[in-house]
Chain A
């Protein structure tokens, strides 16, 4: 299958690969998986007190499109508020990377990873306020 140049670029030079300290109260983790390709994606975001995402890291095992989708969103996430992050749609990811229809689910995976990471950080913030 032919990958677009943007997918290849992210696949060959993935941005922000790695992990953040999952025990840090300012770090949210999102983990999702898609059996169709056997993809597993872990996305971690570090949010400052103003609610801005300062850092984002990912680790994805899967096809080129899944890796590119997660690499791309880590770039997009930095500097965004968590609400802006939550609003990112898979269609925007798919469009930016010119994903073919059979690979749209990779962008769904990335969107869901963001949502899961945001949900995690919100849960941590609530726990902190309650404490």
Chain B
């Protein structure tokens, strides 16, 4: 039972994966391991089907999210992309992070939903660029060092993205 998450869904371990294949194979495993099918099964079979369902769910959550997928691919290479002892990031990227965070705070206090949506759009663009880069670095070049940097950046971007979304939701709720 030491299949990688990719093998579980019949995928090759790549950053650019067929999302449709991931989706359909995930659904297949979920339906095959559904508890309803094991009502009269032996306890050991019930347990196994439940474990498979849990594993498939975890693996699916990891693979469908680009940042998590990249992080997992690096783990398969023995790299911990978000090691706590690694706090050095390119200075220009950190400056950029600060700017985005400041813009987020400003737009939030000015209740500027348009500004927040522009910022959200900017994050989407940044994320897309990093995802293209990751496909190239991991799948084509096997350059895991640069891929680690790009993954760390993508995790940051996703965090800002989520925080902007949260701010928009909060503002909309008060309108």
Convert A30-61 into 0s and 1s, putting 1 for each residue whose CB lies closer than 8 angstroms to a CB of B: 01111111101010000000000000000101
A40 touches B155 (CB 8 A): no
Contacts A35-B152, A35-B155, A35-B156; A40 near B85 (Cβ below 8 A): no
B41 at the interface (CB under 8 A from A): no
B95 adjacent to A31 (CB under 8 Å):
yes
- A residues contacting B by CB (< 8 A) are 31-38, 40, 42, 59, 61, 104-105, 108-109, 112-113
Q: Which residues of A contact B97 (CB under 8 A)?
A: 33, 40, 61
- Which residues does chain A contribute within 8 Å of B163, judged by CB atoms? 38
Bound complex: CA of A113 vs CA of B98, how far in Å? 14
Give Cα A113–Cα B89 distance, bound, in whole angstroms.
12
Q: When chains A and B are docked, how far (Å) is the Cα of A113 from the Cα of B156?
A: 18
Q: A38-B155, A40-B101 are in contact. Are A32 and B84 (CB under 8 A)?
A: no
Residue positions of B touching A, CB distance < 8 A? 81-82, 84-85, 87-89, 91, 93-95, 97-98, 101, 152, 155-156, 158-160, 163
State whether A31 touches B91 (Cβ < 8 A).
yes
Interface of A: prevailing SS: mixed
Q: Using A33-B156, A38-B156 as known contacts, say yes or no to A109 and B98 having CB atoms under 8 A apart.
A: no
Look across to chain A and name the residue whose beta carbon is closest to the beta carbon of B153. A35
Is B84 a contact of A34 with CB atoms below 8 Å? Answer: yes
The answer to whether A108 touches B98, judged by C-beta atoms less than 8 angstroms apart, is no
Residues in A with CB closer than 8 Å to B93 are 33
**B81, B87, B158: which contacts A108 (Cβ < 8 A)?**
B87
* Given A35-B81, A37-B159, A42-B94, 15 additional A-B pairs, CB 8 A: A31-B95, A32-B87, A33-B87, A33-B94, A34-B84, A34-B87, A35-B155, A36-B82, A38-B155, A40-B98, A42-B98, A61-B101, A104-B84, A108-B85, A109-B87
A59–B88 Cα distance when bound, in Å, is 17
In the complex, chain B residues whose CB is within 8 Å of the CB of A113 = 87
Q: Which chain B residue lies CB-closest to A38? A: B159
B96 → chain A, closest Cβ, in Å?
10
Known contacts A33-B89, A35-B152, A61-B101: does B94 contact A40 (CB below 8 Å)? yes
Chain B positions within 8 Å of A37 at CB level: 159
Query: Per a CB cutoff under 8 Å, which of A32, A36, A104, A108 touches B89?
Result: A32
Partner of A35, one of B82, B85, B98, B101: B82
B89 to chain A, nearest CB (A): 4
